[in-house]
Amino acid sequence: MTQQQNAFNADDAKLIRVHLYVGYIAVFLGAIAGLLQGLQRGGMITLPSWLEYYQLLTAHGVLLALVFTTYFIIGFLYSGMSKNMGRLYDGPRIAGWIGFYLMTIGTAMAAVMIIIQEATVLYTFYAPLQASPYFYIGLALVVVGSWISGFSMFAQYRRWKKENKGKLSPLFSFLAVATMLLWFIATLGVAVTVLFQFIPWAFGLTKTIDVLLSRTLFWYFGHPLVYFWLLPAYIAWYVIIPKIIKGKIFSDSMARMAFVLFIIFSMPVGFHHQLLEPGISPFWKYLQVVLTFMVIIPSLMTAFSIFATFETAGRRLGATGVYDWFKKLPWSDVRFFAPMMGMLFFIPGGIGGIINASHQLDQMTHNTLFVTGHFHLTIASTVILTFFGITYWLMPVVTGRKLTPFANKLGMWQTILWTAGMVLMSGAMHTVGLLGSPRRTSYTTYQDHADALSWLPYHTVMAVGGVILFIAAMLMVYIVVYLAFFAPKGEEEYPMGEVSEYAEETPRFLENWKIWIAVSATLILIAYTIPIMNILEYGPPGSPPYRFW
């Protein structure tokens, strides 16, 4: 067993704390935007003239899907590496601060542009709608800041390997490096389109933009982005949850293998967001659909590992029979309960994802509320509930406080409220989406068309779900503030799991990053080279900027 100091390094705690603070400020603001937006779409309120539905939509997406996730993930990954390795080395820690400040400056720039209505383009960009160049520069700074943090984690890992020659890297740290590597490869696409297409165009240096190229580069990034959200949740499931349920990690090598598969297969799949677009041939779309299905495999592996972890933990605690272990799980411990609800949400979430990616089946769901319902199950339930579950112990760890029974109880209610609100909202979204109601659309009846009128009751259910979710979000913010500033001082346990003694030795080739990067690059080239050459060669003249807001 490796030696681990019990006290969490104080300097590292500070760095992690600020990431969590910014993240939860984003939750607070993003939830307000979400509430107003849901009520407006449900036809329950009329927004004042200085506030636009689409502005709220942009803010909601940017704050929750980009800002909260990125800050939280970086903070969480640093915490695990610090715990695994005793501390962050000085270089990586200082780089972490530089990354933090860059991201924060960038976030502030983008936020100001959204508030003054210079960037009502939604966070998926939507060229040739054109935002202020400072919006794009702000987002570029966020990405660059996250790169610096990512590279500091690579440096931390490398130095540890050097100082511990021959030893297997700690599991959490390996998975953290894999996550940041995936993020780096993915963000190359968005960096190229922002630096070489959007910024020159927004400054007027180029007159037109190649819309299809920008969309292709964006979605090259846009899908692995969701794995960047998901993988830290998987880290918690693989490494943290076993400890919380008094079990052991089922298999170290399967966890590593799953993450390696994500690095390989999560990139060459962006076309499944562009299945209904002209200019990309059905053959290349289908090829990427096949590759998309490959990336389901590591999730199937994860499902097995999770259940196996539960079952073996239950049996350690004396469970017999086929399903007794289920009752042995710590259902009243919010550190388990919140992520567990998240895992359950991933069952319908994952199924919806398979359907969306199924080539022509996308014609029923594309750009409808079905998709919105889908990612509220995945990112906004599976991932977010897991992140909340992490927060209950991570916040006390980095503020030197205790998770009290009071906070635990509030957390249980938070999880129940969130689950109830999401079942209502997402259920209604899936159903009405299949009936055809479009996503990202303000309140409308299309001049009282019968179809559109039949959607209104579902939109009302969505709004009710949204109100419950808003209450749950505010409760979460309250718990976070309590754990950060008011809970009694003490030493909270960092639940870092240990590998089961029955798990087999981890093969060392898994640590050979060069192989995985090379395979990933090869697949990206196969999936994208010819389609992008076609776009460049046969594409139409570019588009001038538009500003329809």
Partner 1 sequence: MHLHKYERLWLFFGGASLVIFLIVLGVSAFAMDNQPPSGAYCAPGVALPETLDPQKVSETPPFNNPGIEKLSEDTYVVNMVAYSFGFQPSRIEVPEGSTVYFQVTTKDVVHGFEIPGTNTNMMLTPGYVNTIRQTFNETGEYLILCNEYCGLGHQFMSARVEVISQ
Partner 2 sequence: MSDPGIETKQKTGIKQNSLKGTFISVMILGGLIVVSWFAMFALFLSRQ
Would you call 272 a catalytic residue per the annotation?
A: no
- The one catalytic residue in 401, 430, 440, 459 is 440
According to DSSP, residue 98 is labeled H
Residues 493-532 that bind partner 1 (CB under 8 A): 504, 507
Contacts of 158 (CB under 8 A, 6+ apart): none
| CB nearer to partner 2: pick between 117 and 358 | 358
d(C-alpha 115, C-alpha 277), whole Å: 31
Q: Write the CB contacts of 370 (distance below 8 Å, at least 6 apart in sequence).
A: 352, 356, 364, 429, 430, 433, 434
Q: Which two tokens stand for residue 283?
A: 């053959």
Pick the catalytic residue from 223, 366, 401, 430.
223
Partner in contact with 289, chosen from partner 1, partner 2, none, beta carbon below 5 to 8 Å by kind: partner 1
Residue span 417-446 as binding mask against partner 2, x where in contact by CB under 8 A, dash where not = -----------------x------------
Closest approach, Cβ 416 to partner 1, in A, equals 31
**Helical residues (DSSP H) of 435-512, grouped into ranges:** 450-481
The answer to whether the peptide bond before residue 282 is cis (omega within 30 degrees of 0) is no
The 3-class SS string of 330-342 reads CCCCHHHHHHHHH
Segment contacting partner 1 (CB under 8 A): 119-127, 237-245, 316-324, 329-337?
A: 119-127
| Binding test (CB under 8 A) with partner 1, winner from 86, 87, 98, 277 | 277
Q: Which two tokens stand for residue 399?
A: 């503020």
What is the rounded distance in angstroms from the CA atom of residue 108 to the CA atom of residue 426?
A: 30
Binding at 347: pick from partner 1, partner 2, none (beta carbon under 5-8 Å per type): partner 2
Map the footprint of partner 2 across residues 502-521, applying CB under 8 A.
Answer: 502
Site for partner 2 in 342-401 (CB under 8 A): 347, 350-351, 354-355, 358, 360-361, 363-364
Residue 167 is given by DSSP the state P
Distance CA 223, CA 527 (A): 14
Q: Does 364 bind partner 1 (CB under 8 A)?
A: yes
User: What CA–CA distance (Å, rounded) separates 295 from 265?
Assistant: 5
On whether the CB atoms of residues 397 and 492 are closer than 8 A, the answer is yes
**Catalytic entry in 196, 439, 443, 482:** 439
| Minimum CB distance to partner 1, residue 317 (Å) | 20
Residue whose CB is less far from partner 2, 360 or 442:
360
Q: Which of 198, 375, 387, 494 is catalytic?
A: 375
Q: Does 247 bind partner 1 (CB under 8 A)?
A: no
> How crowded is residue 101: how many other Cβ atoms within 10 Å of its Cβ?
14
Stretch that binds partner 2, among 28-36, 56-64, 72-80, 311-319 (CB under 8 A): 311-319
CB within 8 A of 518, min separation 6: which ones? none
| CB 422, min distance to partner 2, A | 18
Among 87, 158, 159, 316, binds partner 2 (CB under 8 A): 316
Q: Is 436 left (phi over 0), alpha (psi -120 to 50) or beta?
A: left
Q: Does 358 bind partner 1 (CB under 8 A)?
A: yes
Contact between 51 and partner 2 (CB under 8 A)? Answer: no
Cα–Cα distance for residue pair 95/102, rounded to 1 Å: 11
**Given 60, 93, 243, 285, the residue binding partner 1 (CB under 8 A):** 285
Of 158, 159, 315, 439, the residue at the interface with partner 2 (CB under 8 A) is 315
Q: Is 223 a catalytic residue?
A: yes
Maximum alpha-carbon separation in the chain:
71
By CB under 8 A, tell whether 54 contacts partner 1.
yes
Cross-strand pairs, 438: 368
Stretch that binds partner 1, among 103-111, 253-261, 339-347, 463-471 (CB under 8 A): 253-261
Which structure tokens are listed for 328? Answer: 């042995």
The gap from C-alpha 82 to its chain's centroid, in whole angstroms, comes to 22
Binding segment (CB under 8 A) for partner 1, from list 207-215, 224-232, 411-419, 516-524: 207-215
Select from 50, 323, 509, 538 the one that contacts partner 2 (CB under 8 A): 323
List residues with catalytic annotation.
223, 227, 374-376, 439-440
Binding site for partner 2 (CB under 8 A): 1, 248, 300, 303-304, 307-308, 310-312, 315-316, 322-323, 325-326, 347, 350-351, 354-355, 358, 360-361, 363-364, 434, 501-502
